Amino acid sequence: MLSVVIPSYNSESTIEKCLNSLLGQSFSDDYEIILVDSSSDRTPLIVTSKYPGVNFTHLDKKTDPGTARNIGISKARGEIIAFIDSDCVADRDWLERIWDAHKSSYNVIGGSVQNGNDKSNPVAWAGYISEFREFIPEQSKREVTHIPTCNISYKTKIFRTYGLFKGEYYPQEDLVFNHSLSLSGEKILFDPMIQVYHTHRTKLEEYLNHQRKIGNITSRVLKLFDLEGSFIPRHPILAVLAMPFLPAVKFVRTVSIFIRLKQTAIIRRPRVLAVFAVGLLYWIIGFSQGIYSKGSK
């Protein structure tokens, strides 16, 4: 049996597409859908009235995705647990490909992310290229150290052996968890044929605020864990010298990947680069706040 766990917060505009994609899977074996929700909008009403077969838990207060996933894990009955976000739509063969891939020796397998938004929205495209450059479908099948939890699956024994997500590191709690697995010798397989479509923020202010939040938690996480670039926030004086260059480095790295593998994402949408560049400025503001704010470890 296979379990699908979905964390949700105020998902009334996306939850039906997400659940419909999961209920319409080509997978012929048994599977369950577990939705852990802390919404204050119409999401609970939509789910309880239209999707009675979903294992639905509603929490009274806003809950981070990592903690919501942990609750879902505790309810899961499957030998494999697949994760998707409430703002994502799964390919029809998503579960079938996950199940087949887990017949291998890998305990952790994930896939690629497509942009699920209106193709003309530059803010949504900026969000896509800023977060998923390593996980676009044009990337090769390979071993990696991390795949986002909007499209990843684990054999259940992983959680019995290594514990659960640490919600306090949102939105990098999945990076922290997968990093710990890699350090413990677990190999993570990226298979680009396992695909989901992610819906991104379309309002500029929301996108910029999210980039600042990502920058903030990134510097906090780098202080605590030996990840690429961790030496920068651990040495505040060095950080002062390096921070002016970090947005440029991220810009060049990201654009070069898309120019090489997915040119049309940028060539047809030149405004995306301007929005992306502004987002990087907010990212570095958050990054610096994470380094120098009181209480940051």
- Sign, CA dihedral 130-135-138-139, equals positive
Whether the ω angle into residue 171 lies within 30 degrees of 0, i.e. cis, is yes
Report d(CA 116, CA 34) in Å as an integer: 22
* Residue ranges of the chain whose pLDDT lies below 70: 294-297
Give pLDDT tens digits for 211-241.
Answer: 999 999 999 999 989 988 899 999 988 889 9
The answer to whether 246 and 284 have CB atoms below 8 angstroms apart is yes
Q: Is 26 left (phi over 0), alpha (psi -120 to 50) or beta?
A: alpha
- Hey, what domains does the chain have and what are their CATH numbers? 2-118+135-198 (3.90.550.10), 204-292 (no CATH)
Residue 188 has φ and ψ, to the nearest 5°, of -115, 125
| Nearest alpha-carbon partner for 57 in 72, 77, 42 | 72
192's CB contacts (< 8 A; 6+ apart) are 111, 112, 136, 137, 138, 139, 140, 141
How many other C-beta atoms can be found within 10 angstroms of the C-beta atom of residue 45?
Answer: 11
pLDDT at 294: 59
Q: Is the pTM of this model over 0.85?
A: yes
pLDDT at 131: 95
- Sign, CA dihedral 73-214-37-22, equals negative
